[in-house]
Structure 1
Amino acid sequence: MNMKKSLIGMYLISFCSFVSAQIGINMSSPEGIIHIDGQKNTSATSPSTYYDDVMVTSSGNIGIGTKAPKTRLDLRSNERLNAIGIGETSQTASAAKAGALRYNSGTQDLSYSNGTTWVTLAHKVPNDFVDAENSSMQNFSSGVQTAITNWTEKTDVNGSFNSSTGVFTASKTGIYIVSFTFSLSSGTIANDARFESLIQTNSASSATNKVFKCVGSYPGNNTISNRVAGNCSGIFNLNQGDNITVSLTQSLGSSKTLDSDATLTSVSIFGL
């Protein structure tokens, strides 16, 4: 009988120890129900060392980077790398339930579910704005459409313009206004000569591909040697990731080069 009582007592002691146990990973003295020390560097006398810890308290709060979470999920740490990543979802708002958050890559904003619909949070993403000039003296063969490359950026708010290739990539879906001017070095002009300046969009969906052409001509017999210049503007409805390029086609009688004066060849792109 005494043996049975001893066994029962040992069982109760073991059970009580189990239910009050704390779990420590990478550490021998956990300070919560679950305490993970990511880099095995935590020191109880140095609060700054908790930046890589994950803590679950007895009240059910979870702390990442802090040993004393004040909310159900607390990401605040001394390291200050406290961003939270929110991804996209194909769930409906009702399936995700009220209070859920999602990110929209197309419009670059966050939405929350009110239980019925996704509601866009107020935000302000900087509009694309590019202003560039060109003094590369690029050569244009007669009768060949050639994209203008090797630009010098003056402004590029969102880093959406590749100055080497001359390709602009829309950072978000919207309306874009494009203005393009050029000037070719002085030279002879052939009879019945003409040129085209073009602004062209390229996208995965051919429905948004467009070309704006602006034409200049020198009809009849030409005996002049002069600088050829022109400009072209257009308004485009672009999806995120769509491209814009500007190019020239000239039939002026011989190869031509851009003028060395950078201010005479420029492109500006502004997203509304």
Structure 2
Amino acid sequence: MKKRLAIALMMGGSLLIKAQIGINMSAPEAILHVDGQENTASAVPASYYDDVVVTSSGNMGAGTKSPKVRLDLRSGERVNAIGIGGTSQTASAAKAGAMRYNTGTQDLSYSNGTSWVTLAHKVTSDFVDAENSSAQSFTSGTQAAVTNWTKKTDVNGSFNSGTGVFIASKTGVYIVSFTFSLASGTIANDSRYETLIQTNSTSSTTNKVFKCVGSYPGTNSLSNRVAGNCSGIFNLNKGDNITVSLNQALGTAKTLDTDGSLTSLSIFGL
């Protein structure tokens, strides 16, 4: 009797090993086949998007019933992103081939068994193009930042149009060009103006300024339109900021021209 029971258990065990297991389905198409929403239709690829299968060769597929590699996430409806988390493990503890996401630098790295190696990647460069039709007023002899811009382009959302502050999204070389035009008015004798492009204006160590000067020497009896421009190239670290300012000493308060195309700002990261 004991011998017969042992034989029966062995036969049952062999049947279990060769059996296909289906969850939420009666006709599994792999060693293990899970139908998440119980909606799989045979020969209809689009119905496999919520399925998970393990094949007899040991491949696992999510969203596909025919995984071609050890782990295959290529589902027909393309919702097939893969999530990789961070870890505090050392590279040697995680072993060679492990991957992790670095929240601080927002990139991926892999373990070579000794150290974490950052994968090469390209961050979209900053590009800002803005105009100003705000008729902002500038007191004679006082430097003031140009504010209340109208953005035409801001690739990375790095420019605050209200305050006029640009913040670099990555470390690199930045080209800045600032053009302005004041409304027509009288100009004092022997007067001048300065346009300024300034980085990190509140820092005593990293603050840098490009200044461009325009002058009106001698006697100025006529009403004139004052305009100018300034350009600069900056090496910025991620998080550094840029502002543009005007310091006019033309004798009286002046306002920007209301034609926005005459006052413009462009910032381009290389």
TM-score above 0.5: yes
Amino acid corresponding to residue 136 of structure 2 in structure 1: N
In structure 2, give the amino acid aligned to 1:146.
A
The letter for the 2-side match of 1:151 is T
Match of 1:139, as an amino acid? Q
Provide the rounded CA distance (Å) in 1 between the counterparts of 2:43 and 2:182: 71
> Which of 217, 224, 237 in structure 2 is aligned with 1:239?
237
Equivalent position of 1:67 in the other structure: 65
- SS of the residue corresponding to residue 49 of structure 1 reads helix
**Cα 1:140/1:79, change in 2 over 3 Å:** same
C-alpha deviation, 1:183, in angstroms: 1.1
- In structure 2, stretches of 5+ residues that fail to align are none
What amino acid maps onto 1:173 in structure 2? T
Q: What letter is aligned with 1:131?
A: D
- 51, 54, 60: which one pairs with 1:53? 51
- Alignment partners' CA distance in 1, 2:80 and 2:71: 12
Comparing 49-58 and 159-168, the one that deviates more: 159-168
Identity of aligned residues (%): 71
1:267 to partner: Cα distance: 1.6
The offset of 1:160, in angstroms, is 4.0
Q: 1:180-209: CA deviations, max 9, x gaps?
A: 111111112346755443323459998655
Measured in 1, the distance between the counterparts of 2:157 and 2:240 equals: 14
Tell me the SS of whatever aligns to 1:149.
coil
- Matching of residue 267 in structure 1 with residue 265 in structure 2: yes
Q: Which amino acid aligns with 1:170?
A: A
Give matches, 1:1-272, under 5 Å: 2=1, 15=13, 19=17, 24-86=22-84, 93-102=91-100, 110-119=108-117, 121=119, 123-134=121-132, 136-142=133-139, 143=142, 145-153=144-152, 155-158=153-156, 160-163=158-161, 166-190=164-188, 194-202=192-200, 208-216=206-214, 223-272=221-270
8 Å contact kept, 2:128–2:151: no
Pair 1:266–1:61, CA change in 2 (3 A): same
Residue 138 of structure 1 contacts residue 148 of structure 1 at CA under 8 Å; is this kept in 2? no
**Counterparts in 2 of 1:78 and 1:21: CA distance versus 1, 3 Å:** same
- Give the Å deviation of 1:122: 5.2
- Aligned Cα root-mean-square deviation (Å): 3.9
CA distance 1:21–1:200, shift in 2 (3 Å):
farther
Residue-by-residue CA offset, 1:62-112 (whole Å, 9 max, x unaligned): 212111111011111211233334456665554443334455677776554
Give the partner amino acid of 2:50: D
C-alpha displacement at 1:19, in angstroms? 4.9
Compare 200-209 and 78-87 and name the one that shifted more: 200-209
Change (3 A) 1:52 1:116: same
Instruction: Name the amino acid aligned to 2:30.
Output: G
Unaligned 5+ residue runs, structure 1?
A: none
- In 1, Cα distance between the equivalents of 2:23 and 2:73? 19
Residues in 1 aligned to 2:44 and 2:209: alpha-carbon distance in whole angstroms: 63
Residue by residue over 1:44-72, the C-alpha shift from the partner in whole angstroms, topping out at 9 and shown as x without a partner, is: 23111111222222332121211111101
After superposition, the Cα gap between the structure-2 partners of 1:39 and 1:149, relative to the gap in structure 1 and judged at 3 Å, is farther
The count of corresponding residues between Structure 1 and Structure 2 is: 268
Deviation at residue 178 of structure 1 after TM alignment = 1.1
Q: What TM-score comes out, normalization by structure 2 length? A: 0.74
Q: Distance in 2 between matches of 1:106 and 1:210?
A: 27
Q: How far is 1:123 from its partner?
A: 4.9
Helix, strand or coil at the partner of 1:48: helix
Q: Report the residue type matching 2:35 in the other structure.
A: D
Distance 2:146 2:254 in 1: 14
Give yes or no for contact 1:32–1:58 (8 Å, CA) kept in 2: yes
